[in-house]
C-alpha cells in the first residue's frame, strides 16, 4: 500500500516509517522540509502528487509547557495543520490516521477513560489536539483517531532516556507518584497502526501498552530493567513526590489511564503489557 507519514523524523514517525518499509509498503516519509503542514497549498500539492491510500499524521506541536504561552503556534500546527492534512487526504479519498493524546481529558476521573467519554482538556496542548480531532471528524470520511499516552522510543527524547541518564549521574531523584497512566513503546504502537490502517474499522481508539503505573513506578521499573540488562550503572535512589512539589506551566492529567474499549469491541489484539515493551526497549539501549 502507498502510505504518507507526516512527522517522519519524530519518535513515533520514525518507527512507523521503518515498520512500514520492513513490511513492504511504499512510504513517503515527510519531514517538515518536505511537507509544511501549516501551508495548505503545500499539503494539497504533496499529497495529490503522491496519492497515498493512507495518511498517518504523526506531526504535532508537543511542547506541552511551551504551548501555554505559544498558543497560536500550538493551534497552527495541531489544528490548522491537521485541517490541511485532512482536506488534502479527503480530496484523493485516502484514509487518515490522526495521532492524539490523553491530554484531551481533564484527568479527574476515578476510572479509565473510554473513547466516547466527554473530553475536557485543561492545557493549551490538550485543547489544540482536541481541535485537531474535531477537524478530522468534520472533514474526513475515512478516519481513525488514535489517542495514546506516555510515549517513548529509540528516536528522540523521552522519560525513559532521561531516567537512564539521570540514574547514572544523580545520587537521588524525586519522581511524581500521584499521576498514573500507561507507558507506550513507539515500536508497539507502530505495530498497532499497521494493523489498523489495513482495516475499515474507522473511529476513535485508545492505544497504549496495557497495564498502568505512576511515573514513580515507571521509574522504578526503568531502573530495575536497566540493572538486569547490564550496560548501565544506576546509582540514583528514587523518592516519590507529589505533583504540587513540581509545578509546571501546563497542568498534567492526574489520571491518564485510557480503557481500550474500541480495540476490544472491534476484535483487535490489545497491545502487550507496558513492562514487556520497556524490557525490550532497554535491551536495545544497552547494546
Of 125, 152, 185, 216, the catalytic one is 125
Write out the three cell numbers for 239: 523518592
Look up 125 and say whether it is catalytic.
Answer: yes
Nearest 10 degrees: CA dihedral of 145, 155, 222, 101? -20
The answer to whether 38 touches 77, Cβ cutoff 8 Å, is yes
What letter would DSSP give residue 80? I
Q: How far is CA 54 from CA 46, 154, 285, in A?
A: 13, 24, 31
In total, the chain counts a number of residues equal to 287
Write out the three cell numbers for 249: 506551566
Triad 23, 270, 25: Cα angle to 5°: 15
d(CA 246, CA 7): 30
Q: Given the C-alpha cell 491537521, which residue does it identify?
A: 82
| Residues with catalytic roles | 125
Amino acid at each position: 500500500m502507498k502510505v504518507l507519514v507526516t512527522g517522519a523524523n519524530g519518535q513515533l514517525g520514525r518507527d512507523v516509517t521503518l515498520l512500514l518499509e520492513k513490511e513492504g509498503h511504499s512510504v513517503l516519509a515527510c519531514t517538515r522540509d518536505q511537507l509544511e503542514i501549516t501551508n495548505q497549498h503545500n499539503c494539497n500539492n504533496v499529497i495529490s502528487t503522491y496519492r497515498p491510500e493512507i495518511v498517518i499524521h504523526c506531526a504535532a506541536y508537543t511542547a506541552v509547557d511551551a504551548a501555554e504561552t505559544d498558543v497560536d503556534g500550538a493551534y497552527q500546527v495541531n489544528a490548522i495543520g491537521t485541517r490541511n492534512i485532512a482536506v488534502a487526504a479527503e480530496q484523493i479519498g485516502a484514509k487518515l490516521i490522526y495521532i492524539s493524546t490523553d491530554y484531551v481529558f481533564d484527568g479527574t476521573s476515578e476510572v479509565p477513560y473510554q473513547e466516547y467519554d466527554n473530553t475536557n482538556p485543561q492545557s493549551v496542548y490538550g485543547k489544540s489536539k482536541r481541535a485537531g480531532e474535531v477537524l478530522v471528524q468534520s472533514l474526513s470520511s475515512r478516519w481513525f483517531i488514535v489517542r495514546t499516552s506516555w510515549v517513548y522510543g529509540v528516536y528522540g527524547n523521552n522519560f525513559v532516556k532521561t531516567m537512564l541518564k539521570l540514574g547514572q549521574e544523580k545520587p537521588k531523584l524525586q519522581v511524581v507518584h500521584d499521576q498514573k497512566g500507561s507507558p507506550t513503546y513507539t515500536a508497539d504502537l507502530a505495530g498497532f497502526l499497521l494493523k489498523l490502517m489495513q482495516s475499515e474499522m474507522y473511529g476513535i481508539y485508545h492505544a497504549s501498552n496495557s497495564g498502568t503505573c505512576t511515573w514513580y513506578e515507571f521509574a522504578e521499573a526503568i531502573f530495575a530493567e536497566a540493572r538486569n540488562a547490564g550496560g548501565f550503572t544506576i546509582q540514583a535512589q528514587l523518592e516519590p513526590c507529589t505533583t504540587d512539589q513540581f509545578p509546571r506551566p501546563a497542568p498534567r492529567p492526574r489520571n491518564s489511564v485510557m480503557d481500550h474499549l474500541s480495540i476490544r469491541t472491534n476484535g483487535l489484539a490489545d497491545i502487550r503489557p507496558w513492562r514487556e515493551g520497556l524490557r525490550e526497549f532497554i535491551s536495545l539501549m544497552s547494546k
